[in-house]
Structure 1
Amino acid sequence: MTQHHLQGRTESEVLWFQRRSFLQSAAAWTAMGGFGAAQAQSRSNVVELVGDATVNGGRLVNGQSVQTGDQIATGPGSSLIFVLGNSSFHVRQNSMMTVERGNTLSAVSLLRLVTGAVISVWGKGTSRQIITPTLTAGIRGTGVYTEIFANQEGRSYFCNCYGTVDMSSGRDKTTSRSDYHQAFWGEVTPKNGRSLTPAKAINHTDEELEFLAQLVNQRTAWQVLGKKGVKDGRGYMEEKDGQRHPAEMPML
């Protein structure tokens, strides 16, 4: 188990992939042919729902699908795992987000996170974004973790677990290229003149990304490379006379 440091999250939240119910749901999802088959057979694209979730204000019921354009909310102790197109999402408890429609019904153009946290794996595709109150991330095909810290005035955390992401917060912009967890804070008010600051890997695990990638027939960068890097938060704002330099995460 590759455990990441926890801040305000419980171990059971980040170990959801060990639940027997999830493993059974994931196996059934794969056996039935995944999202393509679900679409073709008009089956639900929800892989697993634990507890209560609402879609557009109404309670999500068994067999219902999540569609682009929907607003999703999860209650305490609840979580929702679903697949849209070539992307998969795990919405943590006490979260609210909207998935906005792209150029097709099943394509997400924008994920707007209002509260809580979401882990997502995105296949290759046209312009897509994740937006929180304090940062914007342009997704090119990647696995990422996003969380809003209500107890820090809505400060946003974003980890580019692998892939390429165009990051911006306030006047700060950078392109993050990561094989293994490069993370950022989107500050509510600038710190030392910066709205985008470096962060460490918190509140999510490698295994979570691996399971979400598997749901959409993908593999993480470290699975492809056969080795993991160092998740120490280095890589952003660390080189060349104080200039911001989006270096890749150092590899072992």
Structure 2
Amino acid sequence: MTQHTLDGRSDSEVLWFQRRGFLQAAAAWTSMGGFAAAHAQSRSNVVELVGDATVNGRRLLTQQGVQSGDEIVTGPDSRLVFVIGNSAFHVRQNSRMTVERGASLNAVSLLRLVTGAVVSVWGKGSNRQIVTPTMTAGIRGTGVYTEIFENQGGRSYFCNCYGTVDMSSGRDKTVSRANYHQAFWGEVQPKDGRSLTPAKALNHTDEELEFLAQLVDQRTAWQVLGRKGVKDGKGYMDEKPDQPHPAEKLIS
């Protein structure tokens, strides 16, 4: 298993995919045909629910589903894994987010994270965003990790684990192209004149992305390439890449 760095999170939060309950649930989800079959058969799109979660203020039961347009809240020591269309989500404990509707009921146009953290894998598409109080990420087809650090005044953390993402915070804008974990901070107040700054890879694992990708019949960039890079937050396969982190280009 790959190494990971934690800041304010526990191993149990990032190693959920090792638990027997999830492995059984994921195997059942895949063998039964994934989201398309669940939708056709009017089955729940919740792969796993541990602990307590609410949808639109009502307690979520495992046989119920999550739709685009819903507000999701998870309680302490809780987690929720669900699939909508070609996108899969793992919501960490103590999180609040909405998944806003796209062109259809089975398409997410915007994920708005208010508190907490979410790991997500998105199939190819356009006009989709992840929004936090301090940054916006334009999603194409990618796997990402997003967290709001309440102990840092609501500072937002975003890792483009693989794929292409249009990043913006304050007046700063850049395009993130990554094969292996390119991370950013969305600052609450500009830092040395910049709102979008480089970050390290924090609080998520390769395996989380791999398992979520599998739920929607996808593979991560490193699985496709057959190798991994240096998990330093710069996003490249080479230890000494020939280009800097995109946020560093913003710093004069």
Structure 1 length as normaliser, TM-score?
0.94
Distance 2:245 2:77 in 1: 42
Give 1:188's aligned residue.
Answer: 188
Give 2:202's aligned residue.
Answer: 202
Tell whether the 8 Å contact from 1:168 to 1:196 is kept in structure 2 after alignment.
Answer: yes
Distance 2:49 2:233 in 1: 32
5 Å-filtered alignment, 1:67-216, equals 67-216=67-216
Distance 1:53 1:238 in 2: 40
Q: Matched residue of 1:12: which SS?
A: helix
Give 2:218's aligned residue.
Answer: 218
Unaligned runs of 5+ in 2: 237-242
Q: Matched residue of 1:162: which SS?
A: strand
Tell whether the 8 Å contact from 2:184 to 2:199 is kept in structure 1 after alignment.
Answer: yes
Give 2:19's aligned residue.
Answer: 19
Per-residue CA deviations over 1:136-170 (Å, capped at 9, x if unaligned) read: 00000000000000000000000000000000000
Tell whether the 8 Å contact from 2:157 to 2:186 is kept in structure 1 after alignment.
Answer: yes
Q: Does 1:61 align with 2:77?
A: no
Give 2:239's aligned residue.
Answer: none
Letter in 2 for 1:210: E
Give 1:43's aligned residue.
Answer: 43
Unaligned runs of 5+ in 1: 246-252
5 Å-filtered alignment, 1:28-39, equals 28-39=28-39
Q: Matched residue of 1:181: which SS?
A: strand
Per-residue CA deviations over 1:111-143 (Å, capped at 9, x if unaligned) read: 000000000000001210000000000000000
Per-residue CA deviations over 1:32-73 (Å, capped at 9, x if unaligned) read: 100000000000000000000000000001210000000000
> What is the aligned-residue RMSD (CA, Å)?
1.6
Q: Matched residue of 1:21: which SS?
A: helix
Letter in 2 for 1:244: L
Give 1:248's aligned residue.
Answer: none
Distance 2:138 2:249 in 1: 22
Identity %, equivalent residues: 80
Tell whether the 8 Å contact from 1:238 to 1:244 is kept in structure 2 after alignment.
Answer: no
Distance 1:222 1:238 in 2: 20
Tell whether the 8 Å contact from 1:3 to 1:204 is kept in structure 2 after alignment.
Answer: no
Distance 2:84 2:221 in 1: 21
Tell whether the 8 Å contact from 1:53 to 1:80 is kept in structure 2 after alignment.
Answer: yes
Change (3 A) 1:189 1:74: same
Tell whether the 8 Å contact from 2:44 to 2:65 is kept in structure 1 after alignment.
Answer: yes
Structure 2 length as normaliser, TM-score?
0.94
Give 1:244's aligned residue.
Answer: 250
